[in-house]
Structure 1
């Protein structure tokens, strides 16, 4: 297989993974897989959360395709597709875990309109603590924050986390 076809397969896979990630997040993670994903909508108490298992689960097809394409004599395109899945995972980790959730220390502050939009859309996703009633399930493509806020308002803020009370804000009785 030519390099140009391989690179096209890789790029097409990265683009397609955003659609897959949207569907998996909306209908699996906020559906039957909520038992793992719920930990991501709660304050983390350590370095890890059950939701991190999704990274391992979604890495399996990538690993198998790369192995099959490189070592097992499968169609060479599987190598490029597997690499595209891995590339999306690396991009997702950088945006989601490093930039948005700051699971690794960074001084990066979003300055571009695009980056601010992604970060704000994901934070609006996290104001809802429940399985239902959420907005913004994609990650690299995000609706305008104004539209997400309007949708949350239309839903009467169902499932939205109560604001944290500041220390001393409420006198004890």
Structure 2
């Protein structure tokens, strides 16, 4: 397998994972697996929640693809790279930046990251299984990008706190 095909496979898998995460979040996590995902929609004092099991599931799939992928000789190894890469970005963006599970990043002036935070806050306005919106992670609706642009033009004291 050439390096270009390997990179392309990992990149295509990463891109597909954004759609897959949206689909699973909307139809499975807010559907039959709500009993696991619910922990993410309620405030609690725990650093670990049932919802974290989804991370273990995808980590296990990725690990299995690595282990059986002949150190990069098989195409599915690179699918595992794409899944693991998306998982790492998901953890950093969702758990660290948005939810502050590791408190080393407080605020961002970046329009995209602020829009992402707004969209996620919209998702969490509903604590129940039904009625949520904005199920994706990295794709942001243009309306949130526009709101973030408008807020960034306000004087510093007028920007409302977007952190959870």
Same fold (TM over 0.5): yes
RMSD: 1.8
**Aligned-residue offset at 1:61:** 1.6
Q: 2:97·2:105 contact (CA, 8 Å) conserved in 1?
A: no
1:47-126 correspondence runs (5 A): 47-70=47-70, 76-126=74-124
In terms of fraction of residues, the more helix-rich structure is 2
- SS for the counterpart of 2:69 is helix
In 1: Cα distance, 2:47 partner to 2:56 partner: 16
Q: Which runs of 4+ in 1 moved over 4 A?
A: none
Matched pairs, number? 145
Larger radius of gyration: 1
67 and 145 in structure 1: CA distance in 2 versus 1, 3 angstrom threshold: same
Q: Deviations over 1:3-45 (max 9, x none)?
A: 1110111111111100000000000100000000000000021
TM-score w.r.t. the length of structure 1 is 0.79
The answer as to whether partners of 2:112 and 2:145 remain within 8 angstroms in 1 is no
Higher RCO structure, 1 or 2 (CA under 8 Å, sep 6+): 2
